[in-house]
Structure 1
Amino acid sequence: MTPLDRPTDEQLTLRAQSGETGALGLLLARHQASMRAVALSLLGYGPDAEDALQEAALNALRRIGDVRDPVAVGAWLRAIVRNASRMRLRGTRETPGLEGLDRLLLDDQEPNHPERIVDRHAMRDWIWEAVEELPQQLRLVLMLRHFSGIASYREIAAACEVPVGTVRSRLSQARAKMALALTSTAEQAHDDASVVTEGSRQEAEATLRAWESGGLPREISELWPVESEMVGALGRPGEHVHPVPVMRRYLEDGVRQHLRHVVAGRSIAIWEMDVTHDGALHVCPPNFAWLMFRREGRVERLRVVFPQPLAQERR
């Protein structure tokens, strides 16, 4: 039987569809690892992936009523992230972060007034309350972008008398604050997601300490069984490459990794690293992420995701 303090995905989805914002925040917290994995896989490590995740959180807010199979809401959330990521890969940066919230009509004849649009939304009160919490500059660009006919970057820039780059920056900040406000409404912040993430953080710290000391204690070696495989840029196509010797080689060459952030689910864990390499033989990017796929607690595959150097140029 499911404990009362750990509702199922189906229960949370139904509660979110009835207008309970905290339930949606809890769903996002529970599935954040798999959603982040999708963004990193498609966009690499960097600001584009962060923007895609923020847009996905806000799109989920608008579209939670579209979920027809509440049991499969995790797959639905990943699909939203995938779509947001692909939009960025195609370079369609003019798509609003709330994915066309300003284009929804009550019917084909009625005008596109913000009040009518938001009134359709089960969580309209939360939306306006969250918008009102934004600083004035961020609130202005968000309202123009999503709730007015002045929606293009150039039009907003002219209206606010700022460069287009400033508009993009402010929109990014506004989306981030809105997404953070959404997840912070989760009434049960101590849900299983946070417990799993904290356990993964401890594993990450223990792994880095063990590699620097030259040996893996039993509880960490069990995390990296002989079946573990390094894939992606640091692996070798057609060959089985274990992650431990690869990481040790970079360590011995002078590359040092410092844990910055962890997000984890039951089958996916993401460890984000800052990197220093004073005197190292290899010069690595200043940060990257470990993307790990697990089964029964053990790592099956590790993919190291590096920054996308061209991410900003596509904007």
Structure 2
Amino acid sequence: MIGTDAEVVRAAQDGDTAAFAVLAGRHLAGMRATAIALLGYGADAEDAVQDALLTGLDRLGQLRDPDAAGSWLNAIVRNNARLRLRAATRTVPVADPEPLLPAGAAGRPDDALERAGRRDWVRHAVDALPEQIRETVLLRYFTDFSSYRQIAEVCGVPVGTVRSRLRDGRRALTSMLLATAESYPEREPENVWEDAAGAIAAGSRGDYAAMLAGIFHRDARLTLEGRPIGGPGALIGMMDFTYGAGVRTRLREATAGRDLLIWETDFVNPPDDPEHCPPGMVWVHSVRDGRTRHLKMAYARAA
């Protein structure tokens, strides 16, 4: 693609994914130079650039002066570098900046990507990540179960592991986004929501056996906040206890990646026992041959 920065930016704002890759390629060397000047050579400088590319991808529609694209991308790098410098002077860890969510914006990261017309492109890149990193990235950027603590709970790993997986995921994701901008395949329409809603509704009706038989492999294993609880039979006991108390479950969100399904559900407690269950739960299904082999669950706590 040949054109001025302004022409390339306008094409990217109109949904041309290859245009953003062209823009990033033009300014990548300058962005790296900016990061190195502030942070020195090393992983922090490279992370500041990767975060800036993902931020630029999402916020491109907010760029008012397309001619200033290079300066704008470098400004994002400088902001990322300053965040890291401030974090290095603190005695407690701080969260990394949200690279896919515009500052002050309401809603979910995948909503912003959907509006930008790039959802398939990003999902294709996410699907190419290794499973543990893919799982962490999907939770972080495509669900409300997105804090480091929450991800650590559902995956049964330390917060530091979540942080390192996200770092690796951002680096790989950025590289794949730029490499596949012109060649990514469009995703086939999925029935993720419909399938999840049907399973949750079956459970609410008490059709546990049918639901479990249709979803789980017979040797599936289940974990609750990182602790093994057995096989699908353990889930029957949990459902008996929950639904027997008059609680109902409502699907709030469902998302999918390669070999992964993530459901977010709300508990609807009875009026006479409003605190019976936490606000909700996340269900992370590791899928093989169409059946769940490992289900990781964790409760969503009240804020």
Change (3 A) 1:25 1:62: same
Change (3 A) 1:115 1:51: closer
Q: What's the CA shift for 1:121?
A: 2.6
> Which 4+ residue blocks in structure 1 deviate beyond 6 angstroms?
none
- Alignment partners' CA distance in 2, 1:29 and 1:6: 13
Give the structure-2-normalised TM-score. 0.54
Give the structure-1-normalised TM-score. 0.52
Secondary structure of 2:41's aligned partner: coil
Which residue does the alignment assign to 1:124?
A: 119
- Superposed CA deviations along residues 102-159 of structure 1, whole A, max 9, x for unmatched, are 9743xxxxxx456544432332221222222222211111122122222222221121
Contact 1:138 1:173 in 2 (8 A): yes
- Alignment partners' CA distance in 2, 1:27 and 1:167: 30
Change (3 A) 1:60 1:161: same
Match status 1:31 vs 2:31 = no
Which residue does the alignment assign to 1:160?
A: 155
Number of corresponding residues = 178
Contact 2:13 2:116 in 1 (8 A): no
- Alignment partners' CA distance in 2, 1:11 and 1:47: 33
Which residue does the alignment assign to 2:41?
A: 45
Match of 1:139 among 134, 137, 150: 134
- Superposed CA deviations along residues 186-233 of structure 1, whole A, max 9, x for unmatched, are 559xxxxxxxxxxxxxxxxxxxxxxxxxxxxxxxxxxxxxxxxxxxxx
Secondary structure of 1:45's aligned partner: coil
* 1:1-315 → structure 2 map (5 Å cutoff): 6-91=2-87, 93-100=94-101, 104-105=105-106, 112=107, 116-185=111-180
- Superposed CA deviations along residues 8-49 of structure 1, whole A, max 9, x for unmatched, are 211111111111111111111111111011101111111100
Change (3 A) 1:142 1:103: farther
Contact 1:96 1:146 in 2 (8 A): no
Secondary structure of 2:18's aligned partner: helix
Contact 1:40 1:49 in 2 (8 A): yes
Q: What's the CA shift for 1:83?
A: 1.0
Contact 1:139 1:174 in 2 (8 A): yes
Given residue 121 of structure 1, which amino acid in structure 2 is its aligned partner? A
Structure holding more strand per residue: 2
Which residue does the alignment assign to 1:304?
A: none
Task: Select the structure with the greater relative contact order (CA < 8 A; seq sep ≥ 6).
Answer: 1
Percent identical residues? 47
Q: What's the CA shift for 1:175?
A: 0.3
Alignment gaps of 5+ in structure 1: 106-111, 189-315
Alignment gaps of 5+ in structure 2: 88-92, 184-303
Contact 1:102 1:147 in 2 (8 A): no
